Amino acid sequence: MLAAWCVFAWGAARLLIVHAELPRADVAVVLGGSSAYEERTRWAAQFWSAGRATEIIVTNDGQRGGWSNAEQRNPFFVERAVAELERAGVPRASVVVLSELVTGTHDEAILIRRYVEDRKLRSVLIVTSPYHSRRALWTMRKVFAGSGVKIGLVTPPPGQQTPAPTTWWLHVRGWSTVAGEYVKLVYYWRFH
């Protein structure tokens, strides 16, 4: 019984993970996701360093992180993401913060499309967390339908800030990440 559950749990987690490779994009976009900003920004910085995008866009979910002794306040996750990109070697001039608040992936997709169309860009590389990837790619493709803009999507491997597919069910965070993503998928397919 345990073996069957382990296989099912692994499959449920792996089913959420998708990729849509682009060799190069006009911009890379780090989706908001407060709890996973480190893995997303580090991965985006690698693509920037490899010359696969010349600009990185960061969205703003308006959420604050934990206390920073250095800053004596709770910085916003978008601020932490920008700082993480800079630590990874991305110059501030190559980072664009879309300051308009977003409350979810659909809001982000609409905001990103507006930015891309205003600048007549032709390709976007979305950087998100593994278990968010299926919903993020579906949402981006739906919002960008008919625009002619190529959408790519990449994720860091699971196990950094997100639990591994084999053990997610052993952690509270795994349940909110993997099981919670299925709830969000149903909601998005139904209402967006």
Q: Considering the domain boundaries, does residue 190 fall inside one?
A: no
Averaged pLDDT, groups of 10, the chain, 192 residues long: 78 89 96 84 95 96 90 92 96 97 96 98 96 96 98 88 79 84 91 86
Q: Considering the domain boundaries, does residue 181 fall inside one?
A: no
Q: Considering the domain boundaries, does residue 182 fall inside one?
A: no
Q: Considering the domain boundaries, does residue 191 fall inside one?
A: no
- Predicted TM-score (pTM) of the model is 0.91
Q: Considering the domain boundaries, does residue 71 fall inside one?
A: yes
Residue 73: strand, helix, or coil = strand
Q: Considering the domain boundaries, does residue 51 fall inside one?
A: yes
Q: Which domain holds residue 45?
A: 14-155
Q: Considering the domain boundaries, does residue 41 fall inside one?
A: yes
Residue 1: strand, helix, or coil = coil
Using alpha carbons, list the distances in angstroms from residue 116 to 71, 96, 101, 109, 165. Answer: 33, 12, 17, 10, 34
Number of structural domains found in the chain: 1
Q: Could you tell me the CATH number of the domain that includes residue 37?
A: 3.40.50.620
Q: Considering the domain boundaries, does residue 79 fall inside one?
A: yes
Longest dimension (CA), the chain: 55
